[in-house]
Structure 1
Amino acid sequence: MRRLHPVSLAALALTAPAWTGTALAQDAPAIAQADAPPVDQSPGEGEIVVTATRLPGQVQTDSPPILELDEQQVAAYGAASIADLVAQLAPQTGSGRGRGGRPVFLVNGQRVSGFREFSRFPPEAIRKVEVLPEEVALQFGYPPDARVINFILKDNFASRTIEAEYGMPTRGGTSTAQGEASLLTINGPRRINGSVEYTRTSPLTEAERGVIQTPGTDPTVPGDADPADYRTLVARDEKVEANATFTTGLGEMGSGKQFTLNGNVTRDVRTSLSGLDTVLLTSPSGDQALRTLDADPISRRTTTDTYSLGSTFNAPLGDWRYSGTLDASRTDSDSRRDRRRDTAALAAAAAAGTLAIDAPLPSVADAGFDRTLSRVWSASQKNTLAGSPLILPGGEVNVTLDAGYDWTRIESRDSRAALGETQLTRGDLNAGVNLNLPIASMREGFLDAIGDLSLNLGAGIDHLSDFGTLTDWNVGTTWKPAERLALKASYIQREVAPGLSQLGGPVILDVNVPVYDFTTGRTVLANVTSGGNPDLLAETQRDFKLSANYDLDWFDRTNLVVEYFSNRSSNTTEAFPLLTPAIEAAFPDRVTRASDGTLLAIDRRPVTFAERSSSRIRYGINMSGKLGKPSPEGEGQGRGGRFGAMMGIAAPSQPAPASGTGGGFDPARFGEMRTRFCAAPEGQAPDLSGLPERMLERLKGEDGQIDPAKVAALKARFCAADGGGMRTFDPARFAALRTALACGVEGSNADPATLPAEIADRLKGPDGTIDPARLAEFRSRICALPADGSGGTGGRGGWRGRGGQGSPSGEQAAGGGRQSGGGGGFGGRRGGDGQGRWNLSLYHTIELRNRALIADGGPELDLLAGDGLSDGGVSRHKVELEGGVFRKGLGARLSGNYLSGTTVRGSGLPGSSDLKFGDLATFDLRLFANLEQQKWLTGGGEPGFWKGARLSFRIDNLFDAHQRVTDVNGLVPLRYQPGLIDPVGRRFEIEFRKMF
């Protein structure tokens, strides 16, 4: 097979039948400047050999993706931002490894300084999403404890977006209002994004949920205030956030060098209430009364200011790829909490008989407040170098080297502490190496009888200024005995130090916190201490994983994932666990009780366990497909496609070469593609190497294989005498158009009378006359192109059409406006292939083992057999569901989570009780409509105001499910009232979003 020279398919995209047009338009950039590797072939009669090219920005790995989403599939989620999309992808992006947290994020296959760099981008800017296994993180210098999400962005895109949201529980009591404005411009390697967001949440009190108060806290004298009115379940919260990101290419065009700078500022003010000041009065006769001083609650107000700065630099260094990231932040926290007032004088007066216990109480002086100040500085600089320096018989050896320095400093001061300011500083100098060694390869023909086999080896070292030297190493293998089956195994051992905040976080005391006491079987209000513990130890982790990924012949794509995890750790850092009798016996100095055994206080600062071990199986299925039939020929291509076809002018595209630079329509390359198709002898299929994946999908039959009949039909249309309506670029016609539009003539305007009739018709408004705004926009786009009609490089190429890049439908037309793969085009409001999209993901996790050894020689807790470390214990079964449908601008999504019930044992002594936590299944429903596509709203004409508008309606906890917690008598302890476990319950939210 000869090497395929770069070929632009833009003109073909504008004029091909409906079953190929959209795919060509969206995927032409993928091959515009990509060469297909030479492969020897001797196709038999009727046989079609296809060599596909990799989309620029995709991650090159031998690990198959768990999930892939194209533009239409992304649109089917109805997400407002990339952050919203990530939240909806939780089942597919979550890891069952039991380590790590948020997934690893990449943009165009490269590291970023942080998620905030692009979290506010609209999903319409995404060309493709890849979700990859945890092991892929090693290629980018990350530990293999979280899955990798790669966002491939469009080369050209522009939007301005405003959003307004309002949500509240169906039972009322609290509400959240949010407003956001953002802008984004992507022009080749240059990206500019800015956003401002304001969120306000009103408080919710225990009285508004009918929470029964703990005995001994209700006032006993009529007229005193009810403390339930002054205890918040949801705090008052006001938050404002501003974010800006700038990305640009450096050096000469095509150098591949890119620099990003990101800044973020956040202020969050949170106010909560902890009840009222009370005094217990005892008369000389022994009568008692609990009194509230006044309706002045004990409040806590915390103001948190965060300032963040991040930068990324990516550049090729010979055959290597360098990436440097910097993420720095400063967080200032100021927490003020009211002190209890001195009521000793009142108690003494009542005991002496000088104050009647039911008489109005005299005022008591305000005791002021306690104040906790903290400032946390952090900076992380990471350098990675990736390349393939060696070639073995099985393929290239991939090497990733990383080195960096992390620095953290905590400064805290508490007015209740006599030691003054606390300062903790940690420096972490780290380095690592990862090698991927190909052992056998079907592609290379080396040991291909066993399939594809590779070995992964890695090691790292961290030198911490406060913990000394810590090491880690890992080994793994990936085996693909068949094209559709991938098997993986990995083992990781690493030493991990506790976080600096876990060691030295400010000590904070919360009063009147409801706590269930397993020893007495009662709920009490206790003082709870939180903060850091400087006595924590370094943890050693040993993790083992086996996994299988199998692609099935169901729908467009279906894959089955099965994973087994085994984790074992020693000297683990744990949040202070649920206060069961076993935990109290292990940490007696953390609990304070009165002489009668009443629980008074708990110190919940972190602790060290001797050992933790667990194992689990997680398996799931991901399915996706299409709904309905493709649109008839021409439908959905938009005016841009039809217009370009009529004029014989190929809409300029902005391809995405590997270097990240722009590109344009090349008549010679298009002619070569047409020549190659038409040169194929009658009855023999043309060479399809290098065609985009989506176009190839259009050429497949029901059996999933390339259909020779479809290829023949495309060839016949392509090679018809008149080009099948697919006229190539005509320089003379383009030059005449530029003359009619007065391009390059200072101070001149286009004369509508000189425009070709077919163009003038497309520029007319509803009144039948040429719309000046449309004409001006069209003129600016055409005149901005080079005189030879090429798309230029890195400019504002592409004819920004009505509803093109701004359409929230994601079903862009062949001439879908200023976006990667959209080509040119004036219009393209409906776009897409006319088919809907659906997907379903379902995952089930089964806990096989979960144990905790508190101390060497001490008790070992079986968390699956009645022992507990947290509220609810550990569920043996967990199910995650996510799916939805989307068609013609209407979408619905449903997500669900299920946790099986658990039991936490008491001590078995009199007064103690077991607790049973019931099963819990919750579902969230989201409905959305792209208003510009609703004919009943637009009248079937131009969308006007509704262009780029979307309305969403969401219901969280659709069935208002609450976990039921009961003791051995079937009663609900006060601490586990539904209003305390989930005070919000079922909640609805309405959102209006408009893109300009």
Structure 2
Amino acid sequence: MISSPRSLLASSPVILASMLLATPAAAQISDTESEYADEEIVVTAEFTRGAVVTEIAPVVELSEEDIASFGASSVQDLLEAISSQTTSSRGRGSGRPIVLINGQRTSGFREIRDLPPEAIRTVQVFPEELALQYGYRPDQRVINFVLKDNYTGVSASAEYGVPTRGAQGRSELETTITRIGKNSRVNINLEWQNNTAITESERNIIQDAAGELVDLGNFRTLVAPSDNVELNANYSRAFDNGMSLSLNGGYVYDKSRGLQGLPSGTLTVAGDPLFRYFTEYGPLTRVQETNTAQAGLTLNGTLSDWRWSLTSDYTRTQVNTDTDRSGDVGLLQAAIDAGSVDPLATSFGPLLGAPVTDTARVVDQTINNLATLSGTLLVLPSGAVTTTVRAGYNREDLDSRETRGAIVTTTGLSRDELSTGINIDIPLADENIDVVEAIGKLSVNGNLGYSDLSDFGGLVEFGFGLNWEPVDGLVFSASAIGEDAAPSIAQLGNPVIITPDVTVFDFTNGESVLAAITTGGNFSLPAEKQRDIKLAVNYRPEWLDGFTFLGEYFRNNSDNVASSFPLLTPEIEAAFPDRVTRDASGRLVAIDRRPVNYANVSSERIRYGIDFSKRFGQERGGGRGGADGASRRPAAEAPKREPQGDKPADGAAPEGSAEARPAAPRGGRGAGGRPSGGRWQLSAYHTIRLEDRIKIRDGLDELDLLDGSAVGSTGGSPRHEFEINGGWFNNGIGFRLDGKHQTATRVNGGLTGSDLRFSDLTTFNLRMFINLDDRGNLTENIPFLKGSRIAFKVDNIFDDIQTIRDGNGLIPLSYQPGFVDPVGRYVEIDFRKRF
């Protein structure tokens, strides 16, 4: 049997090129066609090294030229630049994508974070549905980094930035060593950062009457000074038997030192209260020191025609917090009552108690282990049915110790989690050519999982989906997922910390006050039930190279949702009256902001947008495989399975296997050499929120976050959000511009004049850079500049800060611009050199 032309061309584009370029060979095939008419011809496509084995099309692909056009110093910088395409819109999880290297699982983002962009050949971004095939939750996008086969580099960079309003400096030094060989990879990164403080006086924060008397703004920080040191090391090795090993280790030290104002107290003078600040002991401070140690291991390999992986990750985080609070005023009050002390004196000596320091220490240790096995379950006329089976064991230990006065409180929580799950992908129309020609390619998938938590019992997850490609380049997908989710043990058992004199807005009285804020854990939180639906369309037209349209619809619905304490509006205070403390006059004095539980949270939104990129200034070749063309995945391999030889060194599936097809990386320049010519790129996305509601409990009105309700200090949910980013790069010079806009919102305060209106917000960030190697003979005249790049960055170009006004058009003290955004416009210069 001879495959149809459609099947032959789809299975191996190389065959078509060979036929066009070698006419005699084509004639020979024609002459011998009848001789083999009764035999089956098997066509196998070459497996692209580092490709992801999947039927799911990527939503974004970046070639070497694309990557160079971003001017990024590391993978982390690159992902920040394309965050609008890599962040999941499902509304679940952290939004951070899953990371693969050469199509294989990793122990985490740390394995790829510090690699130089020059070491990467291709970046592919896949939708959330691919996460299931690698044993992850379906609420994260997947990014595959295809590395170059041979790269060695040492780089160092220095950055310094300041807000244009002054008062703060940010410094950073970083060095990276990278070596990538055919079978091994080493990457070591060391980074140091320092941020200086921004005080309230440096942003002209208006104080209350008592604060004005002592210049309180000099003793309160809006941005605490901090120091940060990070060390990250990675090693990877591929073996001849197809197995690969990756090891990762890292350490992070962070320390911040915030000022919390001056000690204060309320004195009684002639029967009337007198609130005042005391200057004897200087400012109250809050010092937080964090030490984080991390280690990871990943094993990938093959077992017959199946691919297996094992990942293990350990993290230990210790956070020490020292918080000062005002001392005792009992002796001072007694002296005032006796008439021996003037209550307005500037100093009271030993009569005023010294500040007291509360301490809290939290040690959080987690170990996550996951094993997956993926391969072809059976082969149908429509193609290969693939499956991924996973099993995992996780453990978390949380130990905390809090000292407040003479009272010591300790908490010890632990959680063991055993999990298992399966995902199956079934092609209904793929290799059965007649069906494909009639309806296009069609596949369905399903997943089922179960977890047993030592402190919560059994939790179930399930989901199913559909992918349909009626014509080349147009893909429709639909998925529905359900999951039971337990609150984290940090939400349950974090130590109780009370921070005094935090500026908050009291909607009930329509005023800004200083209140004590309590944070910590809540043991009464139940398990959450999640039910989500996603519909999506991805279109890459044949007639417009480099253009992609993406449209997505999401609906999320959850019961028993654990959440941080919301903004204290009158409706929130009515729902949680035991979390609010007021004095005899009704003035707000304290809020307990430990986590709360919502009966139901539902949201509905649409997100759509385009990505468009083009190259210019060079000869174009290679057809649509070029960097400016929309990539095309090789079609499914021949249905007949051939004997398999050795696996590739990187542990990928064997060439010609009957597994799902690889998503091939884009073409572009070959190994070596700098990018020639230039390119431009533009992406734009629009999100429309159709619904955003919270039901706290039965008997209470729902909170409509699109119509006057709010749970955060930034107001309700904006109806519309816009994202745009684009760039231009040519001959070593490039710039990128990204912007975000959200529409205005409002919060109903319940009293005349206490409503708040939050203005719309538009921010644009600009990054310009120049690669000095590409600027004529500059590096020949100044050899030190060889391999160097200078970058200039401006965040929030127009210094736009959201304006919040009450019903009278006035800005509440707690919403002064310095509180809303103390940094504002920020400029930075970066010098990077490769050795």
Give TM-score, length-normalised by structure 2.
0.88
Q: How does 1:359-398 map to 2 (within 5 A)?
A: 359-363=345-349, 364-398=352-386
Q: How does 1:512-523 map to 2 (within 5 A)?
A: 512-523=501-512
Residues in 1 aligned to 2:365 and 2:14: alpha-carbon distance in whole angstroms: 49
Deviation (angstroms), 1:630: 3.9
Letter in 1 for 2:695: L
Q: How does 1:424-443 map to 2 (within 5 A)?
A: 424-441=413-430
Secondary structure of the 2:212 match is: coil
Residues in 1 aligned to 2:828 and 2:506: alpha-carbon distance in whole angstroms: 37
Q: Which string of whole-angstrom CA distances, capped at 9 and with x for unpartnered residues, describes residues 645-670 of structure 1?
A: xxxxxxxxxxxx971369xxxxxxxx
Please say if residues 279 and 293 of structure 1, whose CA atoms lie closer than 8 Å, have aligned partners that are also in contact.
Answer: no
Residues in 2 aligned to 1:381 and 1:851: alpha-carbon distance in whole angstroms: 36
**Match for 1:970 among 806, 809, 812?**
809
Please say if residues 329 and 353 of structure 2, whose CA atoms lie closer than 8 Å, have aligned partners that are also in contact.
Answer: no
Alignment CA distance shift 1:588-1:285 (3 Å): closer
Please say if residues 320 and 359 of structure 2, whose CA atoms lie closer than 8 Å, have aligned partners that are also in contact.
Answer: yes
Alignment CA distance shift 1:869-1:694 (3 Å): closer
Q: Does 1:248 align with 2:237?
A: yes
> What residue is the counterpart of 1:106 in the other structure?
100
Letter in 1 for 2:710: G
**Match for 1:888 among 726, 731, 741?**
731
**Match for 2:178 among 184, 197, 200?**
184
Higher RCO (CA-CA < 8 Å; seq separation 6+): 1
Alignment CA distance shift 1:204-1:448 (3 Å): same
Alignment CA distance shift 1:395-1:89 (3 Å): same
**Match for 2:299 among 303, 313, 332?**
313
Q: Does 1:345 align with 2:319?
A: no
> What residue is the counterpart of 2:122 in the other structure?
128
Moved more, 55-64 or 313-322: 55-64
Please say if residues 441 and 448 of structure 1, whose CA atoms lie closer than 8 Å, have aligned partners that are also in contact.
Answer: no
* Structure showing the higher strand proportion among its residues: 2
Q: Does 1:915 align with 2:756?
A: yes
Q: Which string of whole-angstrom CA distances, capped at 9 and with x for unpartnered residues, describes residues 677-704 of structure 1?
A: xxxxxxxxxxxxx9x9877x8xxxxxxx
> What residue is the counterpart of 2:716 in the other structure?
873
Alignment CA distance shift 1:327-1:694 (3 Å): closer
Secondary structure of the 2:52 match is: coil
Q: How does 1:543-942 map to 2 (within 5 A)?
A: 543-553=532-542, 556-630=545-619, 659-660=648-649, 821-822=671-672, 828=673, 831-832=674-675, 834-871=676-713, 872-908=715-751, 913-935=754-776, 937-938=778-779, 941=780
> What residue is the counterpart of 1:278 in the other structure?
264
Please say if residues 263 and 355 of structure 2, whose CA atoms lie closer than 8 Å, have aligned partners that are also in contact.
Answer: no
Q: Which string of whole-angstrom CA distances, capped at 9 and with x for unpartnered residues, describes residues 96-147 of structure 1?
A: 2111221111111111001011200001110100011110111100111111
Select the structure of larger CA radius of gyration: 1
Alignment CA distance shift 1:373-1:932 (3 Å): same
Letter in 1 for 2:394: D
Please say if residues 294 and 314 of structure 2, whose CA atoms lie closer than 8 Å, have aligned partners that are also in contact.
Answer: yes
Residues in 1 aligned to 2:359 and 2:281: alpha-carbon distance in whole angstroms: 22
Letter in 1 for 2:74: S
Deviation (angstroms), 1:216: 4.2
Letter in 2 for 1:948: G
Q: Which string of whole-angstrom CA distances, capped at 9 and with x for unpartnered residues, describes residues 516-543 of structure 1?
A: 1110110100000111100001000000
Residues in 1 aligned to 2:362 and 2:772: alpha-carbon distance in whole angstroms: 47
Give TM-score, length-normalised by structure 1.
0.74
Residues in 1 aligned to 2:174 and 2:21: alpha-carbon distance in whole angstroms: 59
Residues in 2 aligned to 1:615 and 1:44: alpha-carbon distance in whole angstroms: 53
Q: Does 1:296 align with 2:138?
A: no
Residues in 2 aligned to 1:843 and 1:521: alpha-carbon distance in whole angstroms: 37
Question: Unpaired runs of 5+ in structure 1?
Answer: 4-33, 220-224, 633-656, 663-689, 698-811, 815-820, 823-827
Please say if residues 263 and 325 of structure 2, whose CA atoms lie closer than 8 Å, have aligned partners that are also in contact.
Answer: no
Deviation (angstroms), 1:55: 2.5
Residues in 2 aligned to 1:197 and 1:309: alpha-carbon distance in whole angstroms: 18
Q: Does 1:453 align with 2:442?
A: yes
Q: Does 1:239 align with 2:228?
A: yes
Please say if residues 266 and 273 of structure 2, whose CA atoms lie closer than 8 Å, have aligned partners that are also in contact.
Answer: no
Residues in 2 aligned to 1:475 and 1:976: alpha-carbon distance in whole angstroms: 45
Residues in 2 aligned to 1:604 and 1:876: alpha-carbon distance in whole angstroms: 27
Q: Which string of whole-angstrom CA distances, capped at 9 and with x for unpartnered residues, describes residues 922-979 of structure 1?
A: 00000001011112633xx476222211111000001000001001111111111100
Alignment CA distance shift 1:262-1:661 (3 Å): closer
Deviation (angstroms), 1:291: 4.3
Please say if residues 135 and 144 of structure 1, whose CA atoms lie closer than 8 Å, have aligned partners that are also in contact.
Answer: yes
Deviation (angstroms), 1:916: 0.3
Question: Unpaired runs of 5+ in structure 2?
Answer: 4-10, 27-42, 622-645, 652-661
Q: Does 1:147 align with 2:136?
A: no
Residues in 2 aligned to 1:510 and 1:41: alpha-carbon distance in whole angstroms: 73
Q: Does 1:87 align with 2:80?
A: yes
Please say if residues 557 and 624 of structure 1, whose CA atoms lie closer than 8 Å, have aligned partners that are also in contact.
Answer: yes
Please say if residues 383 and 431 of structure 2, whose CA atoms lie closer than 8 Å, have aligned partners that are also in contact.
Answer: no
Give the % identical residues.
43
Secondary structure of the 2:131 match is: helix
Residues in 2 aligned to 1:888 and 1:555: alpha-carbon distance in whole angstroms: 25
Q: Which string of whole-angstrom CA distances, capped at 9 and with x for unpartnered residues, describes residues 859-889 of structure 1?
A: 2111111111112210010111111111100
Letter in 1 for 2:147: L
Q: Does 1:332 align with 2:318?
A: yes
Please say if residues 262 and 277 of structure 2, whose CA atoms lie closer than 8 Å, have aligned partners that are also in contact.
Answer: no
Alignment CA distance shift 1:522-1:394 (3 Å): same
Deviation (angstroms), 1:574: 1.1
Q: Which string of whole-angstrom CA distances, capped at 9 and with x for unpartnered residues, describes residues 493-516 of structure 1?
A: 110000110011111111111111
Q: How does 1:41-60 map to 2 (within 5 A)?
A: 53-60=46-53
> What residue is the counterpart of 1:323 in the other structure?
309
Letter in 2 for 1:326: S
Letter in 2 for 1:870: G
Deviation (angstroms), 1:448: 3.4
Q: Which string of whole-angstrom CA distances, capped at 9 and with x for unpartnered residues, describes residues 540-559 of structure 1?
A: 00001111011135764111
Letter in 1 for 2:55: D
Letter in 2 for 1:552: P
Residues in 2 aligned to 1:658 and 1:921: alpha-carbon distance in whole angstroms: 52
Q: Which string of whole-angstrom CA distances, capped at 9 and with x for unpartnered residues, describes residues 583-620 of structure 1?
A: 10010000000111100100111111000111000001
Secondary structure of the 1:85 match is: helix
Secondary structure of the 1:975 match is: helix
> What residue is the counterpart of 1:995 in the other structure?
834
Residues in 2 aligned to 1:897 and 1:119: alpha-carbon distance in whole angstroms: 25
Please say if residues 2 and 39 of structure 1, whose CA atoms lie closer than 8 Å, have aligned partners that are also in contact.
Answer: no
Please say if residues 393 and 446 of structure 1, whose CA atoms lie closer than 8 Å, have aligned partners that are also in contact.
Answer: no
> What residue is the counterpart of 2:57 in the other structure?
64
> What residue is the counterpart of 1:758 in the other structure?
none
Alignment CA distance shift 1:616-1:404 (3 Å): same
Secondary structure of the 2:279 match is: strand
